[in-house]
Amino acid sequence: MNGIESRRKAVRKALKTKGIDAFFVGSLRNIRYLTGFTGSSAFVLLTRERGLFFTDFRYQEQAAEEVGHYEIEIERGKRIDVLRTLAKKLGIQRLGFETSLSFEFYSALKRLPVDLVPVRDLVEDLRKRKDDQEIGTIRTAAERAERAFLSIKPRIRVGAREREIALRLEEQLKKEGCRTIPFDIIIASGRNAAMPHAKPTDKKIEKGDFVIIDWGGEAEGYYSDMTRTLLMAGDSLSEKIRIYAIVNEAREKALRAVKTGAKTRDVDRAAREVIRGAGYGEYFGHGTGHGVGLEVHETPRVSWVRSEGITPGMVFTIEPGIYLPGLGGVRIEDMVAVRKDTAELLTSLGRDLEIIGS
């Protein structure tokens, strides 16, 4: 049984448990996961027996190529009218819907002669448990990202502009085969590195700057996400070297906390305790990590806000950081895949401090 079939089977089983006749899926990521479709307009209706896939005319040929295991139909007219007709034809009494659906479409659904059942994270929870093939694809996305970085790394030197480096890195990611870029690349140097989500500017890299590089790759719709921080040679580097060592230790401790049966909050705490203990707690304002897959930010969150059990197949980032206004910042981000007995690193570039131009 291939991935698509087993995913559909898992959804069906859940429908039965919840006493739902049909499940309306509108999230494009979930549709991609359930059907293989990569276009931008579709919905899926899964009943206990049938799998109906609807897309509009523009994607007719693409759907025929990509979508197996589903009855492919072309969506004509308003979606709510298509659903009304289907509900009648298929005798749907209890209709499940994703809670990520907009209030607006929910309001339209309420007017159908069916009982509505909110379904939270059914497909998202399946997506959290990646199979070997998915983990392999994410590894490919990470390898592409690392090769692209290594090829442009010599450009990261005093005098180079952040934006130019970002452009080159993006170009190289495409050359490596990434069809899309998961998020705008961050190249943040000097004071800019104090902003965890800085956009590349025309600023030139200067002596003594930290340079944060946060980028990701793609393979078959799956993403990777990683960060390295380089230090430019210069004067008075001692605090910077110290901060780097603290973040790197936090990363190491968090990684060691990743294991089946532990909690995501434990991983966050492991990183946070190192940084707090060194007196920089208030300068690490974001969570320690997040799930990565068909979305570059997906469940689980690895933070103090929510916690959940770590299970095999989860893929997430470990990315502690310290950001000091005026001085700059450090973030080191790796990706791990949780296996039954181990945590497998999907990123391989070194994490030791590199001082460029020394």
Q: Is 99 in the site for a second copy (CB under 8 A)?
A: yes
Q: Is 85 in the site for a second copy (CB under 8 A)?
A: no
Q: Is 157 in the site for a second copy (CB under 8 A)?
A: no
Query: How many of the other CB atoms lie within 10 Å of CB of 239?
Result: 10
Q: Determine the interface stretch with a second copy among 99-107, 130-138, 217-225, 258-266 (rule: CB under 8 A).
A: 99-107
Member of 4, 28, 101, 233 binding a second copy (CB under 8 A): 101
Taking the complex as a whole, the smallest distance from the CB of residue 90 to a second copy amounts, in Å, to 23
Token reading at 313: 């197949």
Classify residue 39 by burial, with Cβ atoms within 10 Å: 0-12, 13-18, 19+.
middle
Q: Is 110 in the site for a second copy (CB under 8 A)?
A: no
Question: If residue 3 lies in a helix (H) or strand (E), which one and from where to where?
Answer: helix 3-18
Q: Give residues 184-203 in contact with a second copy (rule: CB under 8 A).
A: 184, 194-199
Q: Name which of 179 and 256 has its Cβ closer to a second copy.
A: 179
Q: Please say whether the beta carbons of 182 and 215 come within 8 A.
A: no
Q: Is 305 in the site for a second copy (CB under 8 A)?
A: yes
Taking the complex as a whole, the smallest distance from the CB of residue 307 to a second copy amounts, in Å, to 13
Geometric angle at alpha carbon 338, from 333 and 342, rounded to 5°? 105
Q: Is 112 in the site for a second copy (CB under 8 A)?
A: no
d(CA 136, CA 139): 5
Taking the complex as a whole, the smallest distance from the CB of residue 117 to a second copy amounts, in Å, to 12
* Pairing status of strand 94-98 against strand 71-74: unpaired
Query: How many of the other CB atoms lie within 10 Å of CB of 332?
Result: 22
Q: Is 59 in the site for a second copy (CB under 8 A)?
A: yes
Site string for a second copy, 314-333 (x = CB under 8 A): -----------x--------
Query: How many of the other CB atoms lie within 10 Å of CB of 285?
Result: 10
Member of 56, 220, 266, 308 binding a second copy (CB under 8 A): 56
Q: Name which of 124 and 252 has its Cβ closer to a second copy.
A: 124
What are residue 45's DSSP bridge partners? 24, 52
Look at residues 327, 348, 351, 324 and name the one whose alpha carbon lies nearest to residue 336.
348
Token reading at 148: 């692209």
Q: Is 84 in the site for a second copy (CB under 8 A)?
A: no
Q: Is 2 in the site for a second copy (CB under 8 A)?
A: no
What are residue 92's DSSP bridge partners? none
Token reading at 239: 């605090």
Member of 180, 311, 342, 348 binding a second copy (CB under 8 A): 180
Member of 2, 6, 85, 107 binding a second copy (CB under 8 A): 107
Q: Name which of 59 and 130 has its Cβ closer to a second copy.
A: 59
Q: Is 125 in the site for a second copy (CB under 8 A)?
A: no
Which amino acid is residue 113, in one-letter code?
P
Question: How many residues bind to a second copy according to rule CB under 8 A?
Answer: 42
Q: Name which of 182 and 313 has its Cβ closer to a second copy.
A: 182
Q: Give residues 17-46 in contact with a second copy (rule: CB under 8 A).
A: 38-40
Geometric angle at alpha carbon 126, from 121 and 132, rounded to 5°? 155
DSSP output for 215-283: E--EETTEE--EEEEEEE--S--HHHHHHHHHHHHHHHHHHHH--TTSBHHHHHHHHHHHHHHTT-GGG
Which amino acid is residue 357, in one-letter code?
G
Member of 18, 78, 88, 155 binding a second copy (CB under 8 A): 78
Taking the complex as a whole, the smallest distance from the CB of residue 348 to a second copy amounts, in Å, to 26
With H, G, I as helix, E, B as strand and everything else as coil, classify residue 135: helix
Q: Give residues 214-243 in contact with a second copy (rule: CB under 8 A).
A: none
Taking the complex as a whole, the smallest distance from the CB of residue 52 to a second copy amounts, in Å, to 20
Enumerate binding residues for a second copy (CB under 8 A): 38-40, 56-62, 77-78, 97-104, 106-107, 118, 120, 167, 170-171, 174-175, 179-180, 184, 194-199, 285-286, 305, 325
